[in-house]
Structure 1
Amino acid sequence: MRNLSKRAGVFAATSVVLAASVAGNASAATAEDAVSRVIEQYVQARADDVTNAPAARSAGAAMTAGFKVQAAVEAREGQAFRQRWAGSLWEYGKAVVTMGKPVVQKHGTGATVKIEERTDLYFARRASASMPEKTSYRVDHVIELTGAAGTWEIASDTLDLPIGSVNPLPYFTTARTGGPGERQVTTAAKTEAAQVNSVAGAPYNRQAMADYAKRWALDRNSAYPSFGNDCTNFVSQAMSAGGWLHVVNPGPFGNPTDKGNWYMRYLSTHAGYSQTWSVADMFRYFAIDNSTPRRVTLNGNHSRRGDVIWADWDLANGSPGVDGHWDHVMIITGDAYPNVDDWITKTVSYHTTDTRDVPLQQVWEKSMKRSPNFGFYFGYLIDAP
């Protein structure tokens, strides 16, 4: 009888521990849900600000007094953006936001949350069947919250973006983590083997380039490595998908700093790549000046799907300005009117920030608002039908 009582006591104690564990897990889940709801309200409101549907505009999330000031600035910028494009080709009609699973780190009465946002901004109308139906982007947030009053309030929002990157459309003055830009890319290790390809094989397939870019604009192709500032790596992949052959000289490893080389070798242990593959400024030297035969010419009058556009908008210290070092590269993936050689009818896709089919005119004006001192350079693919 005593053994039964002892076992009953052990069972009871174990039940208490399990109950406490279940209660703790439930409490953590409840806190995570509460945090997610606050963040989703905030992000949805930001996206709704640039659409033309005020009736659908979401209610603001709980914020600290300090962050309300910043949010008000962003809301005014969103209103100005909305008014600028109202009734135009590029007016947005609705925003659909999808948030990833948050990673919550609690500390005292606050919490740090890392979470992914994926947003689709649908155009209010389509001018033609060739016009994309939406602009899409993906960005990671680092959000600080405080829960001192028993409810979660957003205290700050930082976009996890490096120097030289482009803020998503609904974000105007939001802080960025500011990691290294492309200028800090280091030379890759040599691979054990590399295939030397000739440059014969033109014409190239523009549509295949654009299709690849649209497919991978918001994601990463595991067949390639990824960079913190990934815009040139992304465009190089699209060029390769459309028929550009890799150039590796001298064989078998190649010189990664040679502006006449353009290659990526991704093995199971590491990647070997040329800087022309991964850095926007080096990519232009290969594409325009050192490829044989030449693959790109600067000609903005005839830019079409598959063509690339470079931007020079940052100084070496990350502040706005033009210094002759081209900081970013994009690829044209859509148009409002087929066969119209007018860049304001085009949409572009790029990485960092991961974006698909954003109107080039909006990128241009967003850049001008940041600083009137910037340059866009329009590339035209030679021997591409």
Structure 2
Amino acid sequence: NTMLASAYSYSAMANYAKSYAYSYNPAYRSFPNDCTNFISQAMSFGGWSMVGGFYTLNSAWWYNSIHQSYTWAGAENWYWFARGSGRTSYLSNVWYMLLADVLQVDFDRNGNINHTMIVTTVGSSDLYITYHSTNTRDRSLRSFITQFPNAWYYAHRT
């Protein structure tokens, strides 16, 4: 894992997200709910390699000019891929996140993850997250949690 982790560029992931926070990279399709597609692009840009397999499998993670795996663009599917592949580890507290870590949210607490975001700035007393769907750059994590205090949060160390 240490060898794999050293191949990732967390600053590249965060910078990619900041660069495309308000726009869409023309090399990729966009979706009405684009948050996980956006995060997958950032992970790929930072060094995550694609994993082939049937598009509905949570063990596959890929994108091409015609289609993509469910894990590429679906929040719940991305969760299962990221955890099952060993590319992320679970953080017990959102405040343990670092640059390019991923935060996912289950807004209605029904066990189905609805939204995916990336940490793009680490401040001295707050973290700042960037995401698509409501294209947002460097939003205070504190303000996000204040707005959605009853949501379930899933923090991933990338």
Q: What is residue 297 of structure 1 aligned with on the other side?
A: 89
Q: Is 1:380 paired with 2:157? A: yes
Percent pairwise identity: 36
Q: Is 1:241 paired with 2:45? A: yes
Q: What is residue 68 of structure 1 aligned with on the other side?
A: none
Counterpart contact for 1:202–1:243, Cα < 8 Å: no
Offset, 1:202:
4.0
Partner amino acid, structure 2, of 1:212:
Y
Partner amino acid, structure 1, of 2:63:
M
The TM-score normalised by the length of structure 2 is 0.92
Q: Is 1:359 paired with 2:154? A: no
Q: What is residue 97 of structure 1 aligned with on the other side?
A: none
Give RMSD over aligned pairs: 1.3
Q: What is residue 324 of structure 1 aligned with on the other side?
A: 111
- Structure 1 segments of 4 or more deviating over 6 A? none
Q: What is residue 212 of structure 1 aligned with on the other side?
A: 16
Offset, 1:213:
0.2
Match of 1:336 among 123, 126, 138: 123
Q: Is 1:280 paired with 2:87? A: no
Give unmatched runs, 5+ long, in structure 1. 1-199, 250-254, 314-320, 338-343
Please state whether the residue corresponding to 1:264 is helix, strand or coil. coil
- Superposed, which structure 2 residues align to 1:26-175 within 5 Å? none
Query: Relative to structure 1, is the Cα distance of residues 377 and 201 closer, same or farther in structure 2, using a 3 angstrom cutoff?
Result: closer
Please state whether the residue corresponding to 2:67 is helix, strand or coil. strand
After superposition, what is the alpha-carbon deviation per residue over 1:134-160, rounded to whole angstroms, capped at 9, x for unaligned? xxxxxxxxxxxxxxxxxxxxxxxxxxx
Please state whether the residue corresponding to 2:117 is helix, strand or coil. strand
Q: What is residue 57 of structure 2 aligned with on the other side?
A: 258
Offset, 1:272:
1.3
Offset, 1:335:
2.0
Tell me, in whole angstroms, the C-alpha distance in 1 between the residues paired with 2:123 and 2:103. Answer: 18
Tell me, in whole angstroms, the C-alpha distance in 2 between the residues paired with 1:217 and 1:332. Answer: 12
Partner amino acid, structure 1, of 2:77:
M
Tell me, in whole angstroms, the C-alpha distance in 2 between the residues paired with 1:376 and 1:279. Answer: 16
Offset, 1:201:
5.0
Counterpart contact for 1:307–1:380, Cα < 8 Å: yes
Partner amino acid, structure 1, of 2:87:
R
Counterpart contact for 1:201–1:243, Cα < 8 Å: no
Partner amino acid, structure 1, of 2:120:
T
Give unmatched runs, 5+ long, in structure 2. none
Partner amino acid, structure 2, of 1:357:
D
